[in-house]
Amino acid sequence: MVTPEQRRLIRDSFPDISQLSGPIAMLFYGRLFELAPEVRVMFRQDISVQGRKLMDMLTVFVDHLDRMEELEPMLRALGQRHTAYGVTAEQYATVATALIWAFGVALEEEFPAELKAAWRTLIEAVSAVMIDGAAALSPR
Protein backbone atom coordinates (compact mmCIF):
# COMPACT_ATOMS: atom_id res chain seq x y z
CA MET A 1 0.00 0.00 0.00
CA VAL A 2 1.39 3.35 -1.04
CA THR A 3 1.20 5.78 1.87
CA PRO A 4 0.14 9.43 1.52
CA GLU A 5 3.77 10.51 2.06
CA GLN A 6 4.98 8.08 -0.60
CA ARG A 7 2.36 9.40 -3.03
CA ARG A 8 3.64 12.92 -2.40
CA LEU A 9 7.24 11.85 -2.99
CA ILE A 10 6.31 10.07 -6.21
CA ARG A 11 4.33 13.07 -7.48
CA ASP A 12 7.14 15.48 -6.59
CA SER A 13 9.73 13.36 -8.41
CA PHE A 14 7.69 12.69 -11.52
CA PRO A 15 8.41 15.95 -13.38
CA ASP A 16 12.13 15.13 -13.26
CA ILE A 17 11.47 11.55 -14.34
CA SER A 18 9.27 12.78 -17.19
CA GLN A 19 11.90 15.23 -18.31
CA LEU A 20 14.45 12.40 -18.42
CA SER A 21 12.04 9.84 -19.89
CA GLY A 22 14.13 8.97 -22.95
CA PRO A 23 17.38 8.34 -21.07
CA ILE A 24 15.53 6.55 -18.26
CA ALA A 25 13.84 4.21 -20.74
CA MET A 26 17.17 3.40 -22.41
CA LEU A 27 18.83 2.82 -19.04
CA PHE A 28 15.93 0.65 -17.94
CA TYR A 29 15.87 -1.60 -21.00
CA GLY A 30 19.66 -1.89 -21.05
CA ARG A 31 19.67 -2.97 -17.41
CA LEU A 32 16.69 -5.28 -17.87
CA PHE A 33 18.43 -7.09 -20.73
CA GLU A 34 21.59 -7.40 -18.61
CA LEU A 35 19.66 -8.88 -15.68
CA ALA A 36 17.38 -11.09 -17.78
CA PRO A 37 18.77 -11.55 -21.31
CA GLU A 38 16.03 -14.08 -22.05
CA VAL A 39 13.39 -11.31 -22.10
CA ARG A 40 15.03 -9.47 -25.02
CA VAL A 41 13.11 -11.60 -27.53
CA MET A 42 9.82 -10.36 -26.02
CA PHE A 43 10.52 -6.85 -27.31
CA ARG A 44 9.88 -6.77 -31.03
CA GLN A 45 9.21 -3.03 -31.22
CA ASP A 46 11.84 -0.36 -31.39
CA ILE A 47 12.98 0.19 -27.81
CA SER A 48 12.38 3.95 -28.05
CA VAL A 49 8.71 3.22 -28.87
CA GLN A 50 8.56 0.73 -26.01
CA GLY A 51 10.15 3.35 -23.74
CA ARG A 52 7.44 5.86 -24.60
CA LYS A 53 4.80 3.25 -23.71
CA LEU A 54 6.53 2.65 -20.39
CA MET A 55 6.56 6.35 -19.59
CA ASP A 56 2.91 6.68 -20.64
CA MET A 57 2.03 3.91 -18.17
CA LEU A 58 4.04 5.57 -15.40
CA THR A 59 2.10 8.77 -16.09
CA VAL A 60 -1.18 6.86 -15.69
CA PHE A 61 0.03 5.40 -12.39
CA VAL A 62 1.03 8.81 -11.04
CA ASP A 63 -2.25 10.36 -12.21
CA HIS A 64 -4.17 7.64 -10.33
CA LEU A 65 -2.13 7.51 -7.12
CA ASP A 66 -5.16 8.45 -5.03
CA ARG A 67 -7.46 6.03 -6.81
CA MET A 68 -5.36 3.07 -7.92
CA GLU A 69 -8.36 0.77 -7.60
CA GLU A 70 -9.72 2.35 -10.80
CA LEU A 71 -6.74 0.85 -12.65
CA GLU A 72 -7.24 -2.71 -11.42
CA PRO A 73 -9.28 -4.01 -14.41
CA MET A 74 -6.77 -2.51 -16.85
CA LEU A 75 -3.79 -3.86 -14.86
CA ARG A 76 -5.31 -7.34 -14.66
CA ALA A 77 -5.82 -7.35 -18.43
CA LEU A 78 -2.29 -6.05 -18.92
CA GLY A 79 -0.96 -8.89 -16.80
CA GLN A 80 -2.88 -11.35 -18.94
CA ARG A 81 -1.43 -9.83 -22.14
CA HIS A 82 2.05 -10.03 -20.67
CA THR A 83 1.51 -13.75 -20.03
CA ALA A 84 0.86 -14.17 -23.75
CA TYR A 85 4.27 -12.57 -24.40
CA GLY A 86 5.88 -15.14 -22.10
CA VAL A 87 6.33 -12.98 -18.99
CA THR A 88 6.51 -14.96 -15.76
CA ALA A 89 5.57 -13.80 -12.28
CA GLU A 90 9.23 -13.93 -11.24
CA GLN A 91 10.23 -11.46 -13.96
CA TYR A 92 8.18 -8.64 -12.42
CA ALA A 93 10.77 -8.31 -9.63
CA THR A 94 13.53 -8.03 -12.23
CA VAL A 95 11.60 -5.31 -14.03
CA ALA A 96 11.16 -3.43 -10.75
CA THR A 97 14.86 -3.72 -9.97
CA ALA A 98 15.86 -2.46 -13.42
CA LEU A 99 13.42 0.47 -13.30
CA ILE A 100 14.46 1.58 -9.81
CA TRP A 101 18.10 1.33 -10.91
CA ALA A 102 17.39 3.48 -14.00
CA PHE A 103 15.66 6.12 -11.87
CA GLY A 104 18.63 6.16 -9.51
CA VAL A 105 21.20 6.55 -12.28
CA ALA A 106 19.23 9.29 -14.03
CA LEU A 107 18.25 11.25 -10.92
CA GLU A 108 21.56 10.75 -9.10
CA GLU A 109 21.45 12.57 -5.74
CA GLU A 110 17.80 13.45 -6.34
CA PHE A 111 16.83 9.82 -5.63
CA PRO A 112 17.18 9.34 -1.85
CA ALA A 113 16.26 6.12 -0.07
CA GLU A 114 12.73 7.22 0.88
CA LEU A 115 11.91 8.12 -2.73
CA LYS A 116 13.37 4.83 -3.93
CA ALA A 117 11.18 3.00 -1.39
CA ALA A 118 8.10 4.93 -2.51
CA TRP A 119 8.60 4.03 -6.16
CA ARG A 120 9.36 0.40 -5.26
CA THR A 121 6.10 0.22 -3.25
CA LEU A 122 4.12 1.58 -6.21
CA ILE A 123 5.77 -0.74 -8.72
CA GLU A 124 5.24 -3.74 -6.46
CA ALA A 125 1.56 -2.83 -5.97
CA VAL A 126 1.05 -2.55 -9.73
CA SER A 127 2.95 -5.79 -10.31
CA ALA A 128 0.84 -7.65 -7.75
CA VAL A 129 -2.37 -6.76 -9.61
CA MET A 130 -0.83 -7.71 -12.96
CA ILE A 131 0.42 -11.03 -11.57
CA ASP A 132 -3.03 -11.70 -10.11
CA GLY A 133 -4.58 -11.00 -13.50
CA ALA A 134 -2.15 -13.36 -15.18
CA ALA A 135 -2.81 -16.05 -12.59
CA ALA A 136 -6.53 -15.89 -13.41
CA LEU A 137 -5.66 -17.36 -16.81
CA SER A 138 -4.04 -20.44 -15.28
CA PRO A 139 -6.08 -23.32 -13.91
CA ARG A 140 -5.79 -23.40 -10.13
Residues 17-23, mean pLDDT to the nearest whole number: 96
Residues 42-53, mean pLDDT to the nearest whole number: 89
Residue 71 has pLDDT above 90, yes or no: yes
Three-class secondary structure assignment of the chain: CCCHHHHHHHHHHHHHHHHCHHHHHHHHHHHHHHHCHHHHHHCCCCHHHHHHHHHHHHHHHHHCHHHHHHHHHHHHHHHHHHHHHCCCCCHHHHHHHHHHHHHHHHHHHHCCHHHHHHHHHHHHHHHHHHHHHHHCCCCC
pLDDT digits (tens, 9 = 90+) for 76-120: 999 999 998 889 999 999 999 999 999 999 999 999 999 999 999
- pLDDT attached to residue 138: 61
Task: Specify the CATH superfamily of domain 4-135.
Answer: Globins (1.10.490.10)
- pLDDT attached to residue 43: 87
Higher-scoring residue by pLDDT: 26, 44: 26
Q: Left, alpha or beta for 88 (phi > 0: left; psi -120 to 50: alpha)?
A: beta
Residue 121 has pLDDT above 70, yes or no: yes
- pTM for the whole thing? 0.92
- pLDDT attached to residue 84: 87
Q: How far is it, in rounded angstroms, from Cα 135 to Cα 140?
A: 8
